[in-house]
Structure 1
Amino acid sequence: MALFLEFSLIGLASGGIYVLAALSFVIVYKATNIFNFATGEMMMLGTYFFYLFDTQLGFGWIVGLGMGLASAALLAIVIERVMLRPLIGRPHIILVMVTFGVGSILRGFAGLIWGPNVRQLPETLPRKPIFLGDILVPGKLAWGFVTAGVIAALFMIYYKFSRAGTAIRATSTDQITAESLGINIRAVFLLAWALAGLLTAASGIITASVNGVTPQLGLVALNVLAVVMLAGMTSIGGVIIAGLFVGWMETIVGAYLGAAWQSFIPYLVVLVVMIVKPYGLFGEQRVERI
């Protein structure tokens, strides 16, 4: 039982880190109706920005973190403004394919600049393991979970109670009505992408603090995709629950059945859920009238 509890806590901690990137998926989709397949690469490049400012340029981790997050938000704004806004009104499949292309460009750019080898980030998270009785949780993973939880909580407060969050919620409900009420839709789009840039960079930095960063870090977004599909594309709160569940399930399956099972069982569960509930466990069903 103690071993099961230990694996469960490790899984929940891993899932907590997924939550941040999954929130970036949802906030962009809710505000713009764009499914951003470049999320993983934004996550990876935001981490490299932190590495650049902190380690390569020597600004220190506090300044490097601020500059890295700001650069990630600026990158997201550029993607929305330069590559996606000119395509407003085009079929959604075109926008989806553009985000695929953006992801490939970002991954190639990172490979050219930093190469394929693992780069280690500075020791920003305590390494000392945490003991809960007989249960051991790796220190970096535990503190990464705490950090991710604080960021997610701050985001939820901002989204729920700020005027900007209200504008995003209004836009996600009905863009035409929101614009008729004086909401600047284009500004909401930029804000949603900027928030997505911040969230993905934070998720990437926490993940890379444990494992290091390579151009392949963006592949973590495949796990995040499972979280988003399980929760439903429109549920902020559902993403948190689904992220914790997917992280827990991956760890438990890997511990008891092996890595081969771990690589597909979570996606099998998501597939079954999608067959039964196409809008996810917490997503809202949208009816479009023509």
Structure 2
Amino acid sequence: MDQFLQLTVTGLGTGMIYALAAVGFVVIYKASDVINFSQGDLLLFGTYLIFFALVQLGLPWTLGVLVTVLIAAGIGLVIERLVLRPLIGEPVISMIMVTIGLSSVLRAVVGAIWGPQPRTFPSFLPQGEVMLGPAIVSADRLVAIPLALAMLGGLALFFRRTRGGIAMRAIADDQQAALSMGISIPRVFATAWALAAVTAAIGGMMLGSIVGVSSNVAQIGLRVFPVVILGGLDSIRGAVVGGAIIGLLEIYTGGYIGHGLSLIVPYVALIVVLMVRPYGLFGKEIIERV
């Protein structure tokens, strides 16, 4: 029972970080129908940005987090303006291929600036262990859960209560109708990419605080795809549930079975979901009649 509780907290903590990265994926898809294959590398960039702010600039962590978020938002805006905006109106496959290329570019930029060696930075999450009933759990994973849920809840409110969020939902439903109502598609796309970069950076900060800063974070970022497929490409609630499920599957598999199976179980889940429910648990099912 102690091991089960410890694994559950660890899995949920990891899963909520996956959800933060995945929700950026969902935001871009909801606004533009683009599948962003560079989201995992934005997560990687976030870990190195917080290292740059805290270690290389020597900022206190509160200011370092603010600087990281602002730089990440700027990167998202630059990507949208220079790379994606010229492709508005082009086939969706063109945008998808561009995001695949962007993934390689981001990874190369990180390697060129910071090199391949692992780095560390002063953790802003509590360190040590906490007694949770009869189990001993990691304090950083325990704190990561409510932090990530609060940020995800804020994003959900943004989509439901703000003009920008409602504009994104309108464009996702019908771009032509949104245009006729005076909604600026380029502005909404820019907001979506800035939000996606910020959520990935925040997830990267939390992940870097827990596992350190290295190129392996990009591999962890690949868990974004099983998460969004499981939860649904256009559902923030699905990103939260999908993140929790994938995080728990990984940890339970590694804790009870081992043998490296935790590395492949998210992709096994992805295949099963695509076969049984292609739109995910909370995705919007599109029925085309001819």
TM-score (norm 1): 0.96
Question: Which string of whole-angstrom CA distances, capped at 9 and with x for unpartnered residues, describes residues 3-40 of structure 1?
Answer: 22221221112111111001000000010111111111
The aligned counterpart of 1:86 is 86
Contact 1:46 1:71 in 2 (8 A): no
**Letter in structure 2 aligned against 1:33:** D
The aligned counterpart of 1:28 is 28
Instruction: State whether structure 2 residue 60 is matched by structure 1 residue 75.
Output: no
Structure 1: where are the runs of 5+ without partners? none
Aligned residues: 290
**Letter in structure 2 aligned against 1:35:** I
CA distance in 2, matches of 1:209, 1:50: 9
The aligned counterpart of 1:41 is 41
The aligned counterpart of 1:15 is 15
Question: Which string of whole-angstrom CA distances, capped at 9 and with x for unpartnered residues, describes residues 110-132 of structure 1?
Answer: 11111111111212111031211
Instruction: State whether structure 2 residue 60 is matched by structure 1 residue 60.
Output: yes
Structure 2: where are the runs of 5+ without partners? none
The aligned counterpart of 1:50 is 50
TM-superposed CA distance for 1:270, in Å, is 2.2
CA RMSD of aligned residues (A): 1.4
CA distance in 2, matches of 1:273, 1:40: 21
**Letter in structure 1 aligned against 2:106:** L
**Letter in structure 1 aligned against 2:97:** M
CA distance in 2, matches of 1:187, 1:265: 39
The aligned counterpart of 2:226 is 226
Instruction: State whether structure 2 residue 183 is matched by structure 1 residue 183.
Output: yes
CA distance in 2, matches of 1:95, 1:271: 24
Runs of 4+ in 1 over 6 A off after TM superposition: none
CA distance in 1, matches of 2:154, 2:235: 17
TM-superposed CA distance for 1:186, in Å, is 1.1
**Letter in structure 1 aligned against 2:230:** L
TM-superposed CA distance for 1:289, in Å, is 6.8
Contact 1:18 1:224 in 2 (8 A): yes
CA distance in 2, matches of 1:130, 1:159: 35
Give the fraction of aligned pairs with identical amino acids, expressed as a percent: 39
CA distance in 2, matches of 1:5, 1:61: 31
Question: Which string of whole-angstrom CA distances, capped at 9 and with x for unpartnered residues, describes residues 241-281 of structure 1?
Answer: 11101101110011111042212223212211211111112
Question: Which string of whole-angstrom CA distances, capped at 9 and with x for unpartnered residues, describes residues 130-174 of structure 1?
Answer: 211111210111112222122112211222211111111111111
CA distance in 2, matches of 1:83, 1:143: 37
